[in-house]
Structure 1
Amino acid sequence: MPHDLYLLAGRYRLIERLGQGGAGTVWRAIDEMLDRQVAVKQVRVPEGLTPHERAQFTGRAIHEARSAGRLRDPAIVVVHDVVLEGHQPWIIMDLVTGRSLDQLVKERGPLPPGAVAGIGLRVLSALEVAHAHGLLHQDVKPGNILLDADGSAMLTDFGIAAPMGGPGGLAGSAGSPGYMAPERLNEQPSGPASDLWSLGASLYTAVEGRAPFERDLPAAVAAAVLLHEPPFPARAGRRLGGLLMAMLAKNPAARPTAPQIRQELTALAGAAPEPRGRPRWLLPAALAAAVVLLGAGGWYAVSALRPQPDTGRYAAAPDPCTLLSDAQAEELMKVTPVRNASRPGECQWIVREGPGRTLTVRAWAEKPDGDLGGPQVAQRRFASEKATRAAGKGQEGRDVRGGVSEVPGIAESAILQNSFTFYINTNKSGRSDSVLLFRTSNLLGEVVWHRDDVPASRAADKETAVAAARLVAAALNR
């Protein structure tokens, strides 16, 4: 553990520990190059990893922190830098003065519904920007919502964000169970609706002064999230309370979408206190009886009465291990690999003898979102990924990232990007990655061809990634 005056990367001097959680430790530090205070997150590396797994974790941490660093919104705490030291990733962010929402509620008690709606709008804006860039926050909670002196809210800790449809975030199952959506606790795929569930739980805490699933033990909290409904938030009023209950639905498909939440919070942020008696509610009177008959999922009931958007060709993503045979992987890699179903939605073929080689195949299906069908959501996600990856072109330290090029003839659209990382103390060899992303209907797929101990003169090998992607796309059409 670094002591109080530890100098990180010859630049960031750690002054004091600000907080610690399952995903890491946050320090207040001085950037001695620019003479300013910053926040430094020391990412916790899980114990028991093999050297290969540790290298993968570290590489993913750096990649995801860089992706988070491209997010720009007044409600997002900016990520400035990411460094690797002591075999750990360290993420450098803006240091925001003020208190967290968690601290404010503990000191002052429940907040007025209008103020809570205003906070919700700011955090929602940050989440919408992240989701548009293909990132999930995965740790929305009152402790990560910071309030400036003027009351403006900001969302921090984007350094552990995770790509949509990809492997889980760096936080894994770490965090506060009472603010993790049921699908995350069940280790099921998460999406934007998971972050919105966490926002609903955070706003519930702000307006009620206690968490929606408050229990004495963490295990009891997790069980309550999975099995029980929270009490209706009486201090919120009928309209905000109904919105929060809808956001906390167990089924992600039954939760309101971001535009629906924004519409309600906007009205609530500028509204006078609700009169007693019959509440003004979202549903037209003609639909009220139908909602009662369909149960508590009012938002789901409204959507069920509308024409449903196109779901796309894939109800769920196929197992990536079925999209490439072992014989095909061996032919592509020129050596016999070991197949490993590394995590849901991902399959790897690994060669550990000699120079390491890994061929990774990922696949995930996008669901309809509001009025957008699954193929439209996938197309929007693909375009966002293309823009984000293109913006990363260039050299940063020992990492060199090439431009994004289109690859014709694979699915409906496909892009490729090569990157190379020089080993420390040499400019002759390093690690190479060729990453191909493709889209067909509502499904996105990714092929990553990784090579260790590669001469800098032969940094790119896009042909293998393209050939593997053609095989995977062909298997999808069978």
Structure 2
Amino acid sequence: MPGDLYLLAGRYRLIERLGQGGAGTVWRAIDEVLDRQVAVKQVRVPEGLSPHGRAEFTDRAIHEARSAGRLRDPAIVLVHDVVLESGQPWIIMDIVSGRSLDKVIKEQGALPPAFVAAVGLRVLSALEVAHAHGMLHQDVKPANILLDADGSAMLTDFGIAAPMGGQGDRFGSAGSPGYMAPERLNEQPSGPSSDLWSLGASLYTAVQGRGPFERALPAAVAAAVLLHEPPFPANAGRDLGGLLMAMLAKDPAARPTTPQVRAALSALTGAAPRGSLARSGGRRRWLLPAVLAAVVALGAGGWYAVSVAGGQQEIGKFASAPNPCKLLTDAQAAQIMKGVPERSLTRPGECQWLVRERPARRLVVRAWTEKPDGDLGGPQVAIRRFTSEKASRDAAKGTVMRQSYGGVSEVTGVGEVAILQNGFLRHTNSNKSGNSDSTLLFRTSNLLGEVIWHREDVSVESPQDKGPAIDAARLISAELSK
């Protein structure tokens, strides 16, 4: 561990340790070239990596730190430099005065709802910039939200930021369980809604004085995130509390979008939200209470903004999502899987058929609907979501450590449009076998569906088995068209 006078890269002299967490250690340092103070993050390299794995981790850390260095927003702590010394990545950032939100919560307890909403708006601004550049923060939590003397909030620690569409942190070091979205804990692809979930958990902690899934042990925290709903944050009041519960929905598709969160937080702080609500003037002020009422009414089950257009937008063919367990019969699943599966509703909107005999295999079916949003009807919102998902998944093509993704291909005969992507995760103790996934996403009117065909202990030389995913999706599409 470097001492107090350690000179990094012949330029940055480490003065004192400012903090330490799972992702690394942060030091106060002097930039001796420019004669100014900076913060230096020593990125933690996971233990047990092979020389090749360590090199891959280092290359990824440097690439993502450079990407984070291109982000510019008043609420983002700037990244100035990234250096490699003795195989160790170091990130050079602005040093920010003030205290972290978690320290403020520990000292003062629950914070006023209006103040928490203002903090949320600042952090949301930082996330919007990152998402616009195709980056996910992945570690939004009170410890990474800094409050300046005037109460302004900044989001720091983009050191584990990652491109959209990835499979989460493949090195197991990113994030804190109580602030990681369920899909990240399940090692499923992350998106902007994952960061928004983490923001919701952070604001919940600030307004309530304790985390939404607070437990004694980290494993219990992770289980609570995956399986349990948090108690309603009574300190937040009806409006902010309803929004936070909606942001913490298990299903990413049921969470409010970034513009919807901004509109609700702006209403709570009295600030003018961006977009049409900000421009609408006094004649539509009545919409803000209506937006907040919608938050409370829908809660964690899903939240959608009230349309600001004058007329009623098209809902689409599906008023609500169908029960995914009824989209396939057990007999159909058995024929596809070549075994006798066990069926279970694993969570709202998701059904699973599992064959336990070796090799184990699983068929997962998900279905959800998109609602009208602003000037867009339900089908148009679904098209927007499908297009975004297609771009994000195609961007994940390639191999990082043990996880590989193929390109996105179009599939005919399923819904109005459908795409498929194959993935493979090598086992940690063998390069010759792993788990295989074929994931098919389709859209019909305002409904989006996903079929995942998962096989375990598959040889890396085995061809991708996409047929069962396609067969199941075509049967589901036929059922939906009745």
TM-score (norm 1): 0.62
Deviation, structure 1 residue 282: 2.7
In structure 2, C-alpha distance between the alignment counterparts of 1:141 and 1:211, rounded to whole Å:
10
Note closer, same or farther for the CA distance 1:23–1:377 as it changes in structure 2 (3 Å cut).
same
Contact 2:166 2:190 in 1 (8 A): no
In 2, distance between residues paired with 1:106 and 1:92?
28
Corresponding residue for 1:297? 301
More displaced 10-residue stretch of structure 1: 51-60 or 145-154:
51-60
Contact 1:378–1:439 (Cα < 8 Å) also in 2: no
> Shift of the alpha carbon at 1:308?
8.3
Structure 1 residues 375 and 149: CA distance shift in structure 2, 3 A: same
Q: Unpaired runs of 5+ in structure 2?
A: 272-287, 308-312, 319-368, 374-380, 398-405, 411-416, 423-463, 465-482
For 1:31-430, what aligned pairs fall within 5 Å after superposition? 31-166=31-166, 168-169=168-169, 172-270=172-270, 280=289, 282=291, 296-299=300-303, 306-307=315-316, 371=381, 373-374=384-385, 376-377=387-388
Question: Which whole-Å deviations, capped at 9, do the CAs of 1:216-269 have from their partners, x for residues lacking one?
Answer: 111111111111111111111100000000001111111111100000000001
AA partner of residue 39 (structure 1): A
1:379 Cα deviation after fit: 8.4
The answer for the alignment partner of 1:11 in structure 2 is 11
Contact 1:378 1:444 in 2 (8 A): no
For residues 201 and 444 of structure 1, the distance between their equivalents in structure 2, rounded to whole angstroms, comes to: 32
Query: Aligned in 2, Cα 1:183/1:95: closer, same or farther, shift over 3 Å?
Result: same
Separation in 2 of the partners of 1:110 and 1:185?
A: 27
What corresponds to 2:458 in structure 1? none
- Aligned partners of 2:165 and 2:393 also within 8 Å: no
- For residues 61 and 207 of structure 1, the distance between their equivalents in structure 2, rounded to whole angstroms, comes to 33
On the 8 A contact 2:46/2:173 being kept in 1, the answer is no
Deviation at 1:215, TM superposition (A): 1.2
Q: What amino acid maps onto 2:118 in structure 1?
A: G
CA contact (8 A) 2:62 2:82 kept: yes
Query: Any conservation in 2 of the 1:22–1:171 contact (CA below 8 Å)?
Result: no
Once the two structures are TM-superposed, the CA of residue 305 in structure 1 deviates from its matched residue by 8.0
Question: Which amino acid counterpart does residue 114 of structure 2 have in structure 1?
Answer: G
SS in structure 1 at match of 2:25: strand
**Per the alignment, do residues 216 and 9 of structure 1 end up closer, same or farther by CA in structure 2, a change over 3 Å counting?**
same
Any idea what the Cα deviations from partners look like across 1:68-109, whole Å, max 9, x if unmatched? 000111100011000000111100011010000001111111
In the aligned structure 2, how far is the partner of 1:224 from the partner of 1:248?
A: 12
Residue 27 of structure 1 aligns to a residue whose secondary structure is strand
8 A contact 2:168–2:184 mirrored in 1:
no
- Tell whether the 8 Å contact from 1:163 to 1:169 is kept in structure 2 after alignment: no
Distance in structure 1 (CA, Å) of the matches to 2:95 and 2:419 = 39
Change (3 A) 1:151 1:219: same
Q: For residues 136 and 421 of structure 2, what CA distance do their matches in structure 1 show? A: 18
Secondary structure of the residue aligned to 2:19 is strand
Report the secondary structure of 2:187's partner residue.
coil
Letter in 1 for 2:85: E
1:345-396 CA-to-partner distances (Å, cap 9, x unmatched) read xxxxxxxxxxxxxxxxxxxxxx98963614542688799x9xxxxxxxxxxx
RMSD of Structure 2 on Structure 1 (CA):
4.0
| DSSP-derived class of the 1:30 partner | strand
Contact 1:25 1:41 in 2 (8 A): yes
Cα deviation, 1:127-161, whole Å, max 9, x if unaligned, reads 11111111110000000000111111000001210
Cα 1:28/1:130, change in 2 over 3 Å: same
Aligned partners of 1:169, 1:298: CA distance in 2, in Å? 27
- In structure 2, what is the Cα distance between the partners aligned to 1:171 and 1:140? 18
Give the deviation of 1:169 after TM superposition.
3.9
Cα separation, 1, equivalents of 2:137 and 2:107: 26
Q: Percent identity, please.
A: 74
Aligned counterparts of 1:61 and 1:54: Cα–Cα separation in 2 = 10
So what's the TM-score if we normalise by structure 2?
0.62
| SS of equivalent residue, structure 1 residue 45 | coil
Distance 1:112 1:15 in 2: 36
Indicate if the aligned counterparts of 2:136 and 2:164 stay in contact, CA closer than 8 A: yes
Q: 1:87, 1:308 → 2: CA distance?
A: 56
Q: Letter of the aligned partner of 1:377 in structure 2?
A: S
Residues in 1 aligned to 2:53 and 2:140: alpha-carbon distance in whole angstroms: 27
Alpha-carbon distance in 2 for matches of 1:438, 1:228: 34
User: Quick check: 2:167–2:189 contact (8 Å CA) kept in 1?
Assistant: no
Question: For 2:159, what is the secondary structure of its paired residue?
Answer: helix
Deviation at 1:280? 4.8
Given the superposition, is the C-alpha separation of residues 283 and 78 from structure 1 closer, same or farther in structure 2, using an over 3 Å criterion? closer
* Secondary structure class of the residue paired with 1:126: helix
Q: Which residue of 2 aligns with 1:451?
A: none
Q: What is the alpha-carbon distance in structure 2 between the residues aligned to residue 32 and residue 171 of structure 1? A: 33
One-letter amino acid of the structure 2 residue matched with residue 68 of structure 1: A
Aligned mates of 1:16, 1:170 — CA distance in 2 = 31
For residues 195 and 68 of structure 1, do their structure 2 counterparts lie closer, same or farther at Cα, with a shift above 3 Å needed?
A: same
Q: Which runs of 4+ in 1 moved over 4 A?
A: 300-305, 367-370, 378-383, 436-446
Q: Distance in 1 between matches of 2:168 and 2:245?
A: 26
Question: Does the 8 Å contact 2:136/2:163 carry over to 1?
Answer: yes
Matched-pair contact (CA < 8 Å) for 1:165–1:191: yes
Question: Is contact 1:61-1:170 (8 Å) kept?
Answer: no
In 2, distance between residues paired with 1:213 and 1:184? 15
CA contact 1:160–1:170 (8 Å) conserved in 2: no
Which stretch has the larger CA shift, 185-194 or 169-178? 169-178
C-alpha deviation, 1:175, in angstroms: 3.1
